[in-house]
Amino acid sequence: MTTLPSATFSRRGLLRAFAATTVAAAPTYSKAFGFLKGAGNFRKVRMYSGRSGESLNVVYWIDGQYIPEALKEVNYFMRDWRVDEVRTMAPATLDIIAATHALLDTPEPYMLLSGYRTPQTNAMLRVESSGVAKHSLHIQGEAADLRLDSRSVSQIYNAAWSCQAGGVGKYPRSDFVHMDCGAVRTWHG
């Protein structure tokens, strides 16, 4: 595990990621800026769950404000599906997820493998796998395990790590990337 000082946690990293996607999208959206003037910026998440069969495609932030109704929808979607328990997910984690997705430049939604986990679910998963942390940020609603069919684990990991905004774990054998809003650090499972 590589740990960076928590002072490195920076909204600037996320802002750079969002700005980079704006620059990358400039040729496509250059004519639209006049129409969007005053409309502001937005952030959205697109995911589906193979376990519950549900999909999520929601704008959760507009003009610097989180949208409470959208966050409730995200919280429900990212619930511990094993016991149908909902917890408030950290908006900073959503920002990392959205920025990473924008950097990857794909219309494909993430597949959510794990969002919130109850302490009981986390303990059960620890018995099944050595890669589950005892004090996982999933228990706090601050982490997600995600995959994309159109992008490799390395591509997703590199995009998430470039945000420099939280923890990023690379799990190539299990084909997913962990993202959280904890201390800026990285590891390979």
Tokens of 31: 């004519």
Tokens of 39: 């409309």
CB 160 within 8 A of CB 149: no
> Is residue 100, in this structure, part of any structural domain at all?
yes
Residue 22 CA, chain-centre distance (Å), reads 18
> Is residue 48, in this structure, part of any structural domain at all?
yes
Greatest Cα pair distance in the chain: 55
Beta carbons within 10 angstroms of residue 123's beta carbon: 14
Q: What is the pTM of this model?
A: 0.79
Enumerate the β-bridge partners of residue 42: 62
Determine the structural domain holding residue 116 and report its residue range: 6-188
> Is residue 45, in this structure, part of any structural domain at all?
yes
CB 147 within 8 A of CB 110: yes
> Is residue 174, in this structure, part of any structural domain at all?
yes
Count how many domains the chain has. Answer: 1
> Is residue 78, in this structure, part of any structural domain at all?
yes
> Is residue 1, in this structure, part of any structural domain at all?
no
DSSP assigned state of 145: E
H or E element in which residue 32 lies: helix 32-36
Per-residue pLDDT of the chain (189 residues; tens, 9 = 90+): 444 443 334 555 555 555 544 434 333 222 223 333 344 599 999 999 988 999 999 999 998 899 999 999 999 999 999 999 999 999 999 999 999 999 999 999 999 999 999 999 988 888 887 778 888 999 999 999 999 999 999 999 999 999 999 999 999 999 999 999 999 999 998
Nearest one of 116, 117, 114, 107 to 44, comparing CA atoms? 107
Please report, for the domain that includes residue 168, its CATH number: 3.30.1380.10
CB 81 within 8 A of CB 112: no
Nearest one of 24, 28, 26, 22 to 42, comparing CA atoms? 22
